[in-house]
A = this chain, B = another copy of it.
């Protein structure tokens, strides 16, 4: 029971810290701010956590884990076009962001406040994750499904357009995470212009 309470309190601290870091930023958030929102003294936080940065680490690597888990959970289907594979990956990515908007904000904006070796670990994971998207694009280019483009460049553009979702997504909104993912992948794969089905795509 003692253990149970401690875990629960620790989680509470992490959740409050996530909200706090999102609104004020990591550096501008003090442990006294955090304690106050939890109704305890700042010193009491240290019964549950080791340091301020430990909380940041938990938030960031927790998000990294969710991104990879969701991506790995996509069923393998070699028959799918690369456009469809990319769409699925985009939807997975959006689902993680929309389910964790505050943690996403911290993940995308505060990672540079990690100290080594965690900073390098973060950068490695990010590189690996982007690599998964790059692979799809590379293969899609090889089969002539996608047009010729620098993969690294394309992945930066794609992921950054997705990564802003946390700033405006509301649970009560009209669009579901999956719909958002489909819309975004539609925009990125087919473009803003009309004419995939129609014929009005050749004008200057």
Contact = CB atoms under 8 A, between A and B. Distances in A.
Interface of A: 23-28, 81, 83-84, 86, 109, 112-113, 137, 140, 144-147, 149-150, 153-154, 156-158, 160-161, 163-164, 167-168, 183-184, 187-197, 200-204
A26 B24 CA distance: 11
Contact of A196 (B24, B83, B192, B201): B201
A145 B201 CA distance: 8
B192 A154 contact: yes
Nearest to A140: B192
3 tightest A-B CB contacts, nearest first: A191-B191, A160-B164, A27-B27
B194 A191 contact: no
A101 to B, nearest CB: 14
Contacts of A193: 83, 145-147, 189-191, 196
Contacts of A156: 164, 167-168
Given A156-B168, A161-B158, A145 B194 contact: yes
Contact of A149 (B25, B146, B187): B187
A202 B197 CA distance: 7
B157 A184 contact: yes
Nearest to A110: B25
Contacts of A204: 81, 84
Nearest to A174: B150
A17 to B, nearest CB: 15
16 contacts: A23-B112, A24-B112, A81-B203, A83-B193, A86-B192, A137-B192, A144-B194, A147-B194, A149-B192, A150-B183, A157-B164, A161-B161, A187-B188, A187-B191, A188-B188, A195-B196
